[in-house]
Amino acid sequence: MTVTARALAVRAVVLPDGEWREFFVVDGRVTFDSSSLADIDGADVVADRGFVLPGLVDAHCHVGLAPGGGVPIDVARTQAITDRDVGALLLRDAGVPETHYALDDEPDLPRIVHAGRHLARTRRYLRGCGIELEPTELAAAAAAQAVRPGGHGSPWVKLVGDWIDRDLGDLAPCWPADVLADAVARAHEAGARVGVHVFGEEALPDLIAAGVDSIEHGTGLTDDLIADVAARGIAVVPTLVNIVNFEKYADQATRYPVYADRMRRLKRSGATRIRNAHDAGVPIYVGTDAGGQLPHGLVVDEMLALHEIGLTNLEVLGAGSWKAREWLGLPAIVEGAPADFVVYDDDPREDLSALRNPRHIVVRGTVVW
């Protein structure tokens, strides 16, 4: 390895292995091989104690979305910085009106895995956020969303699986089963994975059968559905910090009392259903739903919420760090990995509240602070 700039040195306990290690950052990547450094004593020491965690992951957020709709790139940049400064160094953008790909090239921002625009049924989603479609249009739109300009990252396609049907006055599936199967297949053929927004129970069997890759929110997961999700290896990103707002959404739906009652019931049962999914072996990852109704920078809040419903400290850390990074295509702190990590004074395996107080943040090999 040729050194083109001063190297960084880190000496600390590296998680998840929990071993005291010395490693270096050269040209934005991790190396444990000191023989590759021309001047090992000249490396800038980032940390000589503490605990190093691969960068945290918010696997469901919206960089470029605010309650009023899409935002310009300067606002999206501020959102990404807010996430970065709490240690979230990898974000999966779960759908925005306009994707700001230029943020991918900024050296001090989190890495973003994009999902383009939501694919929604006509008049069945937040106005102005998604591409509104009829069923005959969904498969072609999914294939088109799977293509990213300039080859930016491994794409995801985001489907809206259920939403309020105002004629019924309740949540209802948005798509016929055969349409979903075709759309998911077309996205997979184009090299994308498919994430799906779904609150209720009724839409889930067809979505699961279609082979979606992730279920977002998942408050409708009953025990029989959970078994199928686990068998298929479908991930769930529950966004618990958003589920607590279901009561508010219900209060706002005064014209739709059946829907309001449904949202209240989903709020009451959501935590138990997510815990049951975890206990059944369903992969659970940390996501906040930030950018819509919620502010950015909530990744630690979501991790603590997962702990409150029964995940152990180590399970939470995996769901919000190394396991989530692997799911999204990035390694932990290993030889040659991108240098995205957070240093803490205290061991988060012992107390997750340590995540509130990062001492150093390094993203893309850049020391943020």
Mean pLDDT per block of 10 residues along the chain (369 residues) reads: 64 97 95 77 89 98 94 98 98 95 95 95 94 98 87 81 97 98 97 97 98 98 97 98 96 97 98 98 98 95 98 98 97 97 98 98 96
Phi/psi at 72 (nearest 5 deg)? Answer: -70, 170
Please report the domains of the chain, with CATH numbers, ordered by start residue: 8-53+332-367 (2.30.40.10), 56-323 (3.20.20.140)
Q: What is the pLDDT of residue 191?
A: 93
Check: pTM over 0.75? Answer yes or no. yes
Q: What is the pLDDT of residue 147?
A: 87
| Other CB atoms within 10 A of residue 99 CB | 22
Q: What is the pLDDT of residue 218?
A: 98
Contact call for residues 23 and 339 (beta carbons, < 8 A) = no
Tally of CA atoms within 13 A in the half-sphere of 241 that contains its CB? 24
Look at residues 76, 65, 151, 163 and name the one whose alpha carbon lies nearest to residue 119: 163
Phi/psi at 248 (nearest 5 deg)? Answer: -65, -45
Q: What is the pLDDT of residue 2?
A: 33
The CA distance from 201 to 95, in Å, is 22
Look at residues 272, 273, 195, 279 and name the one whose alpha carbon lies nearest to residue 230: 279
The distance in angstroms from the start CA to the end CA of the chain is 26
H helices present in the chain, as ranges: 73-84, 135-145, 177-189, 204-210, 223-232, 240-243, 246-252, 257-279, 299-308, 313-319, 322-327
Q: What is the pLDDT of residue 35?
A: 79
Q: Transcribe 149-210 into DSSP letters.
A: GGG-SS-EEEEE-EEEETTTTEEEE-S-HHHHHHHHHHHHHTT-EEEEEE-SSTTHHHHHHH
Q: What is the pLDDT of residue 3?
A: 34
342 DSSP assignment: E
